[in-house]
């Protein structure tokens, strides 16, 4: 994708444009969580709360989506409500989908990969989300590997998450990121968090204990003109972390049902997350919301430190 040409398709809200021009901190946010992550009106309430947490931490939120074929960095509350009401009618958009959805003038909810693309186009360096996609279990036969990993290898954005979603093969996900040269940093931890739980049994590349150092690493990567991004893994807060045995059992059951129904491709993750929420009596959904809140707060702190380095 030629980023130069894409700029003609991109709209920033005045607030986001002004913040970027003035070297003020901005945090990109994805929109798949609004349309595909949870039911209305909880999805909209959560999205607006996420934006307010970014503001409380001194940064400007830029929720990313495609509306009427326009790439958008920053949405109004009415536009967030619109995406939330439409829900799964909105197309889930990754890199491969962007040209089609834009050309047809459609609405799209952005995944990690497409949010990174729009953030990079807009000049936003930090993006906070729930969890990234990765190498799916059984990928050695299905070749099911999330486009999020390829995007991290080539798009210069720091992604703050609670680790890869625990429905994935975490060991293979880390191997893939290593092959692609993507640094995996643990915020306050040497162990890869596993989305719903704080531990996975797998190590990260480096432990980093402050937003200032995370910003310094990102700044250095940009100064060195390295392609690609950086993955920051931020463990779910202790009080919202789920029991590993409970969540592992729910994941195993959901995976079995997914295979029995022949669900595959981009429908896999929304099905599994929804089914796990049902099996756990919505405990997993509550945990999911809390870890997103935690990640966007960290994202805002990193963005502030990055602006200070560039001042």
Under DSSP, the state recorded for 268 is H
* Separation in Å, CA 277 to CA 41, 134, 206: 17, 20, 32
Using one digit for the tens of pLDDT, what is the confidence trace for 172-211? 999 999 999 999 999 999 999 999 899 889 999 999 999 9
Cβ distance 251 to 272 under 8 Å?
A: yes
Residue 7 has pLDDT above 90, yes or no: no
Task: Give me the pLDDT at residue 6, please.
Answer: 59
Cβ distance 170 to 164 under 8 Å?
A: yes
Q: How far from chain centre, in Å, is Cα 267?
A: 17
CATH of span 1-124: 3.40.1790.10
The stretch 20-31 carries a mean pLDDT of 98
- The residue among 256 and 217 whose pLDDT is bigger is 217
The stretch 264-290 carries a mean pLDDT of 82
Question: And the tokens for 91?
Answer: 């197309």
Residue 266 has pLDDT above 90, yes or no: no
* Separation in Å, CA 190 to CA 41, 181, 187, 233: 37, 18, 8, 10
Residue 2 has pLDDT above 80, yes or no: no
Q: Are strands 108-110 and 184-187 parallel, antiparallel or unpaired?
A: unpaired
Fold match flag (1-124 vs 125-311): yes
**Residues contacting 203, CB < 8 A, separation 6+:** 190, 191, 192
For the chain, give the percent of residues with pLDDT over 70: 98
Using one digit for the tens of pLDDT, what is the confidence trace for 92-147? 999 999 999 999 999 999 999 999 999 999 999 999 999 999 998 888 888 889 99
Task: Give me the pLDDT at residue 5, please.
Answer: 57
Task: Give me the pLDDT at residue 86, please.
Answer: 97
* Domain regions of the chain by residue span: 1-124, 125-311
251 pLDDT band, cuts 50/70/90, is confident
1 pLDDT band, cuts 50/70/90, is very low
Task: Give me the pLDDT at residue 136, please.
Answer: 87
Q: Which of the residues are catalytic?
A: 30, 165
User: Helix (H, G, I), strand (E, B), or coil: what is residue 50?
Assistant: helix
Helices (H) and strands (E) in the chain, counts: 14, 11
**pTM of the entire predicted model:** 0.93
Superfamily of domain 125-311: Indigoidine synthase domain (3.40.1790.10)
């Amino acid at each position: 994708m030629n980023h130069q040409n894409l700029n003609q398709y991109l709209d920033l809200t005045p607030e986001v444009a002004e913040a970027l021009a003035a070297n003020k901190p901005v945090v990109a946010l994805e929109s798949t969580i609004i349309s595909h992550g949870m039911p209305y009106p909880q999805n909209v309430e959560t999205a607006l709360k996420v934006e307010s947490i970014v503001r409380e931490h001194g940064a400007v939120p830029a929720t990313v989506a495609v509306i009427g074929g326009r790439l958008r960095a920053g949405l109004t509350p009415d536009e967030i409500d619109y995406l939330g009401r439409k829900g799964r009618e909105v197309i889930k958009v990754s890199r491969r989908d962007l040209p089609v959805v834009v050309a047809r003038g459609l609405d799209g909810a952005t995944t990690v990969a497409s949010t990174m693309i729009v953030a990079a186009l807009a000049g936003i360096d930090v993006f906070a989300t729930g969890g990234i996609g990765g190498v799916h279990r059984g990928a050695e036969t299905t070749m099911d590997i999330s486009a999020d990993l390829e995007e991290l290898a080539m798009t210069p954005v720091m992604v703050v998450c609670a680790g890869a979603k625990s429905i994935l093969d975490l060991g293979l996900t880390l191997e893939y990121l290593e092959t692609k040269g993507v640094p995996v940093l643990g915020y306050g931890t040497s162990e890869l968090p596993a989305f719903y739980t704080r531990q996975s049994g797998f190590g990260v590349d480096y432990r980093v204990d402050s937003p200032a150092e995370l910003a310094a690493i990102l700044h250095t990567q940009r100064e060195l003109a390295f392609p690609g991004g950086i993955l920051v893994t931020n463990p779910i807060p202790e009080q919202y972390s789920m029991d590993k045995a409970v969540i592992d059992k729910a994941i195993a059951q959901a995976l079995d049902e997914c295979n029995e129904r022949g669900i595959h491709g981009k429908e896999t993750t929304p099905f599994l997350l929804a089914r796990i929420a049902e099996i756990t009596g919505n405990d997993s959904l509550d945990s999911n919301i809390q870890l997103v809140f935690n990640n966007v707060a960290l994202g805002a702190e990193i963005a502030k430190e990055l602006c200070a380095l560039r001042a």
